[in-house]
Amino acid sequence: MTLDPLNTLWTRIAADLRDAVGASDYEVWLAPLKVANFDGRSLLLRAPIETRAWVADRYGRVIAASVGKILGPEVGITIVTGREEGGPDAARRFAPTAPLDTAPNPKLCFDQFVLGESNRFAHAAALAVSENPGTAYNPLFLCGPPGVGKTHLLHSVADYLQRHEPSLRVRLTTAEAFVNEFVGAVKGGGMATFKARYRANDVLLVDDVQFLMSKTRTEEEFFHTFNALRDAGAQVMLTSDRTPRDLQGLHERLRDRFESGLVAQIDAPDMATRVAVLRKRATHDGLPMPSNAVLETIAQRVRTNLRTLEGALIRVVAFASLTGGEPDEALAARVLDDLFPSDAPQPGRARVTIESVQSATCAAFGITRDELLSPSKAARFVWPRQVAMYLAREHTTASLPVIGAGFGGRGHTTVLHACRRTVERVATDQEASTIVRELSTRLTDVMDDRSD
C-alpha cells in the first residue's frame, strides 16, 4: 500500500488513539509516530529514539487495538526508531489484536449481574481483576454452590476485557474442555500446540476447576500452565463449587496455588436478591412483568440456584401466555407445585425447626445434643452434625448463619461445607443415603403427627 492511502487510514487510527488515551497524552507521546510501511500483515511505525521504549511499553497494546479496529484484527504492529529498522534493539513487535478463545455469553456481563449481600465481595473482586488484570488479585478463586453467579462473573470479566482491553490475549474455557484438549493432545502428539494455546495468554479464565480432581496427568499439566502464566505476569481466574481446601482430589501444591491469591465465596442469594434477579431477567428478555407478589412466590420456591430460579419464571410466564391465564400468585403456585413444592407450613401442619432436626438426628445416631453441638472432631460426632446441618437447611427456612448459630455458634461456611459433604457422601454411600432419607421422612411424619 502506498503511503498516501495509508496516511489517510493512519489519520483514522490516530483519532481512535486520541479518544483512547486522551488528548494530552496523545500529543506528548503518540502524535510523533510516523507510518513507515504496511505489508498487509504488519504496520511499521517509526518513533523518536528517545521515546520509542516508553511508547512501546506503555502504549503498544493500545496502538495494536486501534490498528486492529481500522485495518483488521489480524494486523500486528512493529515500532522502530529512526535508526536502521532491522537493528537488534530498535524494534518492538506486537501481535495482532487477540480475540477471545470462547466468546462470553452476552447476557452474562457486569450490567446484568444483580448485587446482593451474598455476592458483593466476589463482584468487587471480579471488577478489580477486570480493571487491573495481573495486578489486583492473582489468582482470583470464586467458590460457591451451583447457580449462584460464579460463571456469570467469569464471563463478565471476559466481556469487560473484550470491550476495554481488546489487545489482551484472553482464554475463557472450562476445566472439562482443558481435560479433553489435553487428552486429545497426548493422543495426537500435539502437546506443543496445546501448551502454546494455554500459556501464551494474558488472561486465563477457567470455570469449574473441580473437574480436574483425580486426573493426575491433566492436573500436572494444569499446574505447570498455572506457574507459567503467573511467572509471566498473566491473570488467572478460577471458579469451583467448593473452596481450594475442599478439593481433596487435587494435589496439595495445586490447592496451595489456588489459595495464593484471593478466595471469594458466593453463598445462596437472599430473598431480596432473588426477586431482583427475576425482575432483571423479565426486563432483559422483554417478558410481561409479573407483580411483586408473583415474583416473591417464585423466589420463595427456588432459593439456591439462580439458573433454576430464572427457569421457574419462564415456566410461569409461558404457562400464563399459552393458557390465557392471569399470571397471579395462584397460577404461579399451581405451575410450580410439581417441580418446586412449597415448604411453607400448610394450615394445621407444624413447622420443622432446627431443634426438632437436632433431636431427630441425635435419636437416630444415639448421641446427646451436647455431643452433637460440641467442638469435637471425632468421626462419630462429625457425620451426625453434618447430616443435621444438611437437614436443617433442607427442612427449615433458616438461613445459613442462623443454622450455624444453632449449632454451637458455627459460621455459615461451616454449614455450607457440611451440606456439601453430606450430598457427596449420600451420592456414593448407600448406607448414608438410607439414613438421611429415613431421617427426612421421620421429620416430616413427626411434624404431621404434632399438628393433628
* Residue 330: domain span: 271-336
Residue 86 has what pLDDT? 43
CA distance 234 to 451: 61
55/171 same-domain check: no
CA distance 282 to 138: 35
126/217 same-domain check: yes
Q: What is the CATH number of the domain that holds 250?
A: 3.40.50.300
CA distance 124 to 132: 12
117/238 same-domain check: yes
Residue by residue, DSSP assigns 204-270 as EEEE-GGGGTT-HHHHHHHHHHHHHHHHTT-EEEEEESS-GGG-TTS-HHHHHHHHTSEEEE-----
How are strands ordered across the β-sheet holding 235-240? 170-174, 203-207, 235-240, 140-143, 262-265
pLDDT tens per residue, range 204-235: 999 999 989 888 899 999 999 999 998 888 99
Q: Is residue 105 part of a domain?
A: no
Under a CB-based contact definition with an 8 Å cutoff, are residues 167 and 199 in contact?
A: no
114/261 same-domain check: yes
317/231 same-domain check: no
| pLDDT tens for the chain, residues 1 to 452 | 445 567 778 888 888 888 877 777 788 788 888 888 887 778 888 888 767 777 777 777 788 878 877 777 777 788 887 544 444 344 555 555 444 455 667 778 898 899 988 899 999 999 999 999 988 789 999 998 888 999 999 999 999 998 888 888 899 999 988 998 899 888 888 888 888 888 888 999 999 999 898 888 999 999 999 999 988 889 999 999 888 988 888 888 999 999 999 999 998 888 888 999 998 888 877 777 888 888 888 888 888 788 888 888 888 888 887 777 777 888 888 888 767 766 544 333 346 889 999 999 999 899 999 999 999 988 899 999 999 999 988 888 777 888 988 998 898 888 888 988 888 888 778 888 888 888 887 886 655 444 44
Residue 264 has what pLDDT? 93
If one counts the domains in the chain, the total is 4
Under a CB-based contact definition with an 8 Å cutoff, are residues 108 and 137 in contact?
A: no
196/332 same-domain check: no
Q: Is residue 99 part of a domain?
A: no
Residue 155 has what pLDDT? 93
Under a CB-based contact definition with an 8 Å cutoff, are residues 63 and 30 in contact?
A: yes
Under a CB-based contact definition with an 8 Å cutoff, are residues 48 and 82 in contact?
A: yes
Residue 94 has what pLDDT? 55
Q: Grid coordinates in use for 384?
A: 451426625
Separation of CA 323 from chain center: 37
pTM for the whole structure: 0.57
| Among candidate residues 265, 290, 311, the one where a domain is terminated | 265
| Among candidate residues 231, 265, 299, the one where a domain is terminated | 265
Q: What is the CATH number of the domain that holds 396?
A: 1.10.1750.10
Q: Based on the number of CB atoms within 10 Å of its own CB, is 279 exposed (0-12), middle (13-18) or buried (19 or more)?
A: middle
Residue 326 has what pLDDT? 77
How are strands ordered across the β-sheet holding 34-38? 34-38, 42-46, 76-80, 92-94
240/135 same-domain check: yes
Residue 143 has what pLDDT? 93
CA distance 291 to 273: 16
252/299 same-domain check: no
Q: Is residue 346 part of a domain?
A: no
Q: Is residue 344 part of a domain?
A: no
49/168 same-domain check: no
Residue 99 has what pLDDT? 44
164/295 same-domain check: no
Residue 35, beta-bridge partner list: 45
Under a CB-based contact definition with an 8 Å cutoff, are residues 241 and 277 in contact?
A: no
Q: Is residue 104 part of a domain?
A: no
Query: How many Cβ atoms sit within 10 Å of the Cβ of residue 368?
Result: 10
Residue 153 has what pLDDT? 95
Q: Is residue 102 part of a domain?
A: no
Phi-psi sector, 450: left (phi>0), alpha (psi -120 to 50), beta:
alpha
171/317 same-domain check: no
Beta strands at 235-240 and 203-207: parallel, antiparallel or unpaired: parallel
Long-range contacts at 402-411 (CB < 8 A, ≥ 24 apart): 402/354, 403/354, 406/354, 406/355, 406/358, 407/354, 407/358, 407/372, 407/373, 408/373, 408/374, 408/375
Q: What is the CATH number of the domain that holds 288?
A: 1.10.8.60
Q: What is the CATH number of the domain that holds 72?
A: 3.30.300.180
Query: How many Cβ atoms sit within 10 Å of the Cβ of residue 338?
Result: 7
Q: Is residue 101 part of a domain?
A: no
Residue 84 has what pLDDT? 42
Q: Is residue 258 part of a domain?
A: yes
331/372 same-domain check: no
